[in-house]
Amino acid sequence: MKDSMKPLSRLETSSIPCTLNGQEISLNVPPAKRLLHILRDDLEMTGTKRSCDIGRCGACMVMVDGVPVNSCLTMAYQCSGKSITTIEGVSAGGMDPIQRAFLEEGGFQCGYCTPGMIISVKALLDHNPDPTPPEIEEALSGNICRCTGYGGIKRAVQKAIEWRREAYESESVHD
Amino acid sequence: MAANAQGVAEAPFVWHPATAAEAWQLKQTLGTEGVYTAGGTLLRTQWEAGLAAMPNHLINVGEIEELHGIHIDCESGTGTLGAMITLSDLRTSPLVHASFPLLTEAARSIAAPSIRNLATIGGNVLSLVGDSLPALLIYDPVLHWHDGSNGLQESLSEWLSTAAVHAAWRERLLIAIELTQPALDSNTKRFVAYHKVGRRDAFTPSVVTAALSVQLDSDNRLSDVRLALGGGQTIPHRLELVEQFLTGKIANKKTITEVYALVVEHYEPKGDAFVPVSYRKKAAANLIASELWKAVR
Ligand SMILES: Cc1cc2nc3c(=O)[nH]c(=O)nc-3n(C[C@H](O)[C@H](O)[C@H](O)COP(=O)(O)OP(=O)(O)OC[C@H]3O[C@@H](n4cnc5c(N)ncnc54)[C@H](O)[C@@H]3O)c2cc1C
Ligand code: FES
Ligand code: FES
């Protein structure tokens, strides 16, 4: 059997190399285990939330190589060699301006959807710092909020865009 | 350890073939115990809903080079999409947008960006009811399969017409989808439209998915009419009878009124507990009629 055809092991764990919030790690888990369960149960990183389990709510959103994916749909082997960012990683260097904007603009009530929302907004603004309203709507179309009616979330996104722009402009002035 | 709805531990073997031949050989060896897996988004839905048990072996087709890549030749108006192209790749590719704009629209309408980052065009096609299908059907699509021999090519329309009843294709590996842009005659313009109508604005199964491409001359005379409908559990197909009816006609109030009635009469969607057949027929007819109005406006 060729090397490429060797299965990753079944009941025993396999070692899957990846980067988690900037740190190189090896996931010693069954290869089809879902990233959501690895994060919450094995690594005790509970910032990523669990709700529908089938990709419909966005509570479990993480970034893989800079783009948002639902960790309840992502299997461990799909993370091999990839860079994963969770909500814990977003705030590793202190509160992210996106998080502050959600706080200041009332972008949450119960807060259950918020980590997933923040991840989706971060993925959007990292790629497109000045999105149009339809682009924002599309980027957040996989994140469901049962509380806010989305008004506060939209304001928070606009505020985050403003703050990031101001920060960029003041950096450019100082350069 | 987490388990799916069937109570099966999430511990299948995962195989990583590097070539189509290896993947196909694995499938031959494993039979129904082994399942080709691309993004895994549809499979996960099926496992969680209890529609299918999680298999003992996943055959990850993501590492097979041949299944990747978008190749478009703008001069000849032809293109090939690897089966592992994600719906996000489709949504954002300027080349796809320039040559096959209905596909950009279709990709935008499927699920949400985070799912599109995993979900592939191959998986969408092989679901038999994917919302990319009406758009693909406009571009004379040909499926390229690996079947253990020299490869098999088959028109998407033909495959769709029998795929629900013949299961032999499930052994094969889909490699790519070949497309051809409709040619444009001189002194004509082309009008294209794609619509997905759901019960909510976003993130909901489609009631009707429609794709339309027509050529119009300066008198609004229609030619090269292509019309595909699907949605929900209806296997998408071209409406050849309606296409023939429209060909050569001038798009005016009379033609559009007649085509509305024709779609209601001849389109045969599948209904469900939420949306009956009669509603789907009317929704489809309304979409076609309103798009034809836009074409001549
Ligand atoms: C929350 C959510 C929302 C969704 N919304 C939509 C929607 O709006 N519209 C829509 O059309 N779909 C939707 N889907 C369904 C699904 O995401 C898409 O159909 C997707 O494109 C499937 O691709 P995949 O790569 O994930 O397929 P997979 O799940 O990996 O595979 C799907 C099927 O194809 C087979 N397969 C995959 N690749 C190959 C290959 N190369 N050769 C042979 N067999 C292969 C698999 O064995 C399996 O049977 C949704 C799914 C979720 C979870
Ligand atoms: S828990 Fe993953 S999308 Fe709902
Ligand atoms: S704040 Fe409660 S679900 Fe969004």
Closest by CA to B226, choosing from B271, B184, B283, B163, is: B184
- Judge whether B128 and B43 are in contact, CB under 8 Å: no
Pick the CATH number of A97-174 from 3.30.450.40, 3.40.190.10, 1.10.3720.10, 1.10.150.120: 1.10.150.120
Q: How far is the CA of B270 from the centre of ligand 1 (A)?
A: 20
Say whether A78 and B41 touch across the interface (CB within 8 A): no
Q: Which residues pair with B238 in a beta bridge?
A: B228
Structure tokens at B36: 């080709």
Closest by CA to A5, choosing from B18, B37, B28, is: B18
Q: Is the pLDDT of residue A5 over 70?
A: no
Using CB atoms, pick whichever of A32, A138, A142 lies closest to residue B14.
Answer: A32
The pLDDT assigned to A9 comes to 42
* CA dihedral over A89, A91, A93, A96, signed as positive or negative: positive
The pLDDT assigned to A93 comes to 87
| % of chain A residues with pLDDT over 90 | 83
Closest by CA to A49, choosing from A27, A65, A72, is: A72
Distance of alpha carbon A85 from alpha carbon A87, whole angstroms: 7
CB-based contacts of B112, cutoff 8 Å, min separation 6: A58, A141, A142, A143, B202, B203
Burial class (CB in 10 A: 0-12, 13-18, 19+), B221: middle
Q: What is the largest CA-CA distance in chain B?
A: 67
Reported as a single tens digit per residue, the pLDDT across B223-239 is 999 999 999 999 999 99
Say whether B108 and A138 touch across the interface (CB within 8 A): yes
Say whether B16 and A4 touch across the interface (CB within 8 A): yes
Write the single-letter amino acid at B37.
T
Looking at ligand 3, which residue's alpha carbon is closest to its atom 2? A110
Residue ranges, CATH 3.10.20.30, chain A: 8-90
Pick the CATH number of B189-296 from 3.40.50.12280, 3.40.47.40, 3.40.50.1970, 3.30.390.50: 3.30.390.50
The pLDDT assigned to A109 comes to 95
Say whether A7 and B114 touch across the interface (CB within 8 A): no
Which regions in chain B score pLDDT beneath 50? Answer: 1-8
Q: How far is the CA of A107 from the centre of ligand 3 (A)?
A: 9
The pLDDT assigned to A13 comes to 63
B66-180: which CATH architecture?
A: 2-Layer Sandwich (3.30)
Reported as a single tens digit per residue, the pLDDT across A125-159 is 999 999 999 999 999 999 999 999 999 999 999 99
- Judge whether B187 and B217 are in contact, CB under 8 Å: yes
pTM over the 0.90 mark:
yes
Burial class (CB in 10 A: 0-12, 13-18, 19+), B234: buried
In which band, very low, low, confident or very high, does the pLDDT at A12 lie, cut at 50, 70 and 90?
A: low
The pLDDT assigned to B277 comes to 96
Query: What value does the mean pLDDT take over residues A4-32?
Result: 80
Q: Does the fold of domain B189-296 match that of domain B13-60?
A: no
Length of chain B: 297
SS3 content of chain A, % helix, strand, coil (to 5): 40, 15, 45
Question: Does any CB of chain A come closer than 8 Å to the CB of residue B27?
Answer: no
Q: Is the pLDDT of residue A164 over 50?
A: yes
Angle, helices A114-127 vs A97-104, to 10°: value is: 130
Please choose from A35, A46, A48, A57 the residue to mutate so as to test ligand 2's pocket, defined by most ligand atoms within 8 A of CB: A57
- Judge whether B95 and B154 are in contact, CB under 8 Å: no
Q: How far is the CA of B38 from the centre of ligand 1 (A)?
A: 8
The pLDDT assigned to A169 comes to 84
- Judge whether A72 and A95 are in contact, CB under 8 Å: no
Reported as a single tens digit per residue, the pLDDT across A32-83 is 999 999 999 999 999 999 999 999 999 999 999 999 999 999 999 999 999 9
Measured in angstroms, the CA of A30 and the nearest CA of chain B are apart by: 6
ipTM value, please give it.
0.93
The CATH number of A8-90 is 3.10.20.30
- The answer to whether the CB of A77 is under 6 A from ligand 3 is no
The pLDDT assigned to A167 comes to 83
- The answer to whether the CB of A57 is under 6 A from ligand 3 is no
The CATH number of B13-60 is 3.30.43.10
Structure tokens at B53: 């048990």
Residue ranges, CATH 1.10.150.120, chain A: 97-174
Angle, helices B253-266 vs B277-296, to 10°: value is: 150
- Judge whether B35 and B41 are in contact, CB under 8 Å: no
